[in-house]
Every structure is written in structure tokens, then in C-alpha cells.
Structure 1
């Protein structure tokens, strides 16, 4: 997209733009079925985000217009095998994914969001691709809320394989489809 700038941010840099990141989240999740659900409250999101700053491999990629306005971002960390969702699907994952996890070779894409008025312009895909190509991990993992369209349909088009077991991150969370993107030769 012309005039769009993608930038990578370390945890320290992300801390400085937390209010902007939170504002994007607040707008993206201010729609049914998320609005009013305590799991998706801005306060709970900010707690999850700031906790992620201290996780291994944390990074944010932001998308800004020429005006400097933040229109979307993606963030994630290096996936560790002690994460509850990994444990809940490990028995059905491919052996090469398990070996990659043993080496710290899986990136966990935790959030990808674009402001609604900038949707369907390729910004989400640009953010995703920029993040993934800049990571040292050979695999990417994510979870997508089962009824979160159009994201739920987009990820398989981008090469993700849906793990055939739905999970929850926490008792109060929605149901998710775990997905894996294997090593890509063009990364």
C-alpha cells in the first residue's frame, strides 16, 4: 500500500507506544461479540501485552500511514513448549514442529490487528509477512478464534495448517483453532 511504513519494535520501544497499541486494540475489539466480554477488555489486553514484553523474543511490527497514524500491528514471541495451548495439542503436532520447538524455532504470533477503516487493503498480510520474514524461527504458530472471520479463512490461504483440535487459552477465553505455518523457502 503506498504511503504505508512498517517498523519493527523491541520490547523497550513497544513500551513507549503502548498507549497507541492499546488504542488500536480498543477500536478493533469494540464490536460484537467482543464488546462487553471481560476477556477482551482493554485493561485485560494491556495486561497481556505488557506481560509479553518480558517474554523471550518479543517483537512488534507496526503499520503507519504517511501522516504517522498507526493503522495496525502484529506482535509475538518465541513459543516455548510450556505454553498451555502447545501442551494441549503437542500429541498431534508434526514431529518436525516438535523438533523445532525443542530448538526454540517456533514464533508465536500473538496478535494481528488492523483498524476497521483500513481493512481489506492488504495491511494485515503485509504486517504478517514483514514479521515472519524477519524472525529467526523457522515455524510460525498462532491461534484464531473459531468464528473470527475473515481472519479464520485468511490464515489457511496464507499457508497455515489448522491443527485438528480446538483449544482455549484460559477458562474464560473463547475457543480457538491452533494453526502452524511450516518453514518457507522464501523467508
Structure 2
């Protein structure tokens, strides 16, 4: 993705402490990107539930969290974040692997897998390639071997985009968060995309 294709685009990178200091921006982007899901009353996507998850992700003791915020002409336009999985990470807890040795697949050491937790774009900036630009900005310099993400099976636009960007399904997973849906777990090799 060539970020020159989006005029006025800039990225800001934040650690967990810096992300917490920008909590208002994070919630503002979420409210715009998930306006339709919020309006349905879906409890998982409500701002309070979302921000509780954000606070857990950015816990100073949780590891090397990274947030990337996209701004277009200085205005928040989207965000993405994630962190490397450690031996104590609960990410794979409810994974039902399509095939293979689950224990070997889920063995983590902090250097093997980067969990891409969120990509969201404010409604007014959709359709410009910003999600792909955020994706690449976060993952291009990651040192891990692979990345993983979770996607709702019926989120066809996102699912198709992930497949185009080199991701593939490895199983299903229901996060332990209250009201979480069962999601498809995808992975992508990072070493071959550097």
C-alpha cells in the first residue's frame, strides 16, 4: 500500500502508556468506525465494553502493546493495535484449530506471534485504502515470525481484504470477553512480507 495515495495521511505510534494518554481519541475513532454496530445495541461493540477491553490491552504489565493512529490533515481517521504473544498470553485459550498439533501451534515465547487486535477506520474515511495502510504501517516493521487476527465470519468486506493481504484461516476462536462472538482465527507470515 502506498501511503502517498492518501493525501494528508500521517501515522502516530504509541506505547501502552502513550495510548492510555490518548484514550479520548481511541474512543472517538471507535464510535465513528462502529456507529452501525453501536446503534444496534450489540453489547460487545458498545463504547463502554470496548474501552474496558482497551484498558486491559494497555495494562502496563501486559507487554509490548503498540497503537498506530492515522490522521488525515491532522484529524483522527483510523487506528490499529496489537502486541506480541507471550507464554502467558490467553489469546489462543479457546482456539479450535482446523488441523495440526494445537500445542505446537500455540506455543508462544514473545517473539513468534504478533496479535493484531483491531483495525478501524472512521466512517468518513472508508473506501480510501486507509485500513490497508494502517495494517501495513503496524506490521511491516514487526520482528515476529507471524501475525494473527480474529474476524467475524459474516464481515465479508474485512474477511476478503484480509485474504487479499496474505492472511489465511487456521480455525475458530471465541474470546473470553463477555458477549464475544465466535470468530475465525487467521494468520499471516511476517518474515516473507518484510
User: Which residue of structure 2 lines up, in the alignment, with residue 20 of structure 1?
Assistant: 25
1:34 to partner: Cα distance: 6.7
Q: Which residue of 2 aligns with 1:104?
A: 111
Contact 1:90-1:98 within 8 A present in 2 as well? no
Structure 1 gaps, min length 5: none
TM-score by length of 1: 0.87
Structure having the higher strand fraction is 2
Provide the residue aligned with 1:35 in structure 2.
40
Per-residue CA shift, 1:21-53, capped at 9, x if unaligned?
111111221214873011111001111101111
Given the superposition, is the C-alpha separation of residues 148 and 124 from structure 1 closer, same or farther in structure 2, using an over 3 Å criterion? same
Distance 2:18 2:118 in 1: 17
Equivalents in 2 of 1:121, 1:181: separation in Å? 23
- In 1, distance between residues paired with 2:126 and 2:152? 18
Give the corresponding residue for 2:81: 75
Note the C-alpha offset of 1:93: 5.2
The two structures have a TM-score, normalised by structure 2, of 0.84
**Partner of 2:150 in structure 1?**
143
Per-residue displacement from partner, 1:92-146 (whole Å, max 9, x unpaired)? 3579x83873453210001100012211111110110010012221211000011
Instruction: Please identify, of 153-162 and 24-33, the stretch whose mean Cα deviation from structure 2 is larger.
Output: 24-33
Matches of residues 30-179 of structure 1 in structure 2 within 5 Å?
30-32=35-37, 35-54=40-59, 55-66=62-73, 68-89=74-95, 92=99, 98=105, 101-102=108-109, 104-163=111-170, 165-170=171-176, 172-179=179-186
Superposed CA RMSD in Å reads 2.3
5+ long unaligned stretches in structure 2: 1-5
CA positional deviation for 1:65: 1.1
Distance change (3 Å), C-alpha of 1:32 and 1:78:
same
Distance (Å, rounded) in 1 between the aligned partners of 2:51 and 2:122: 17
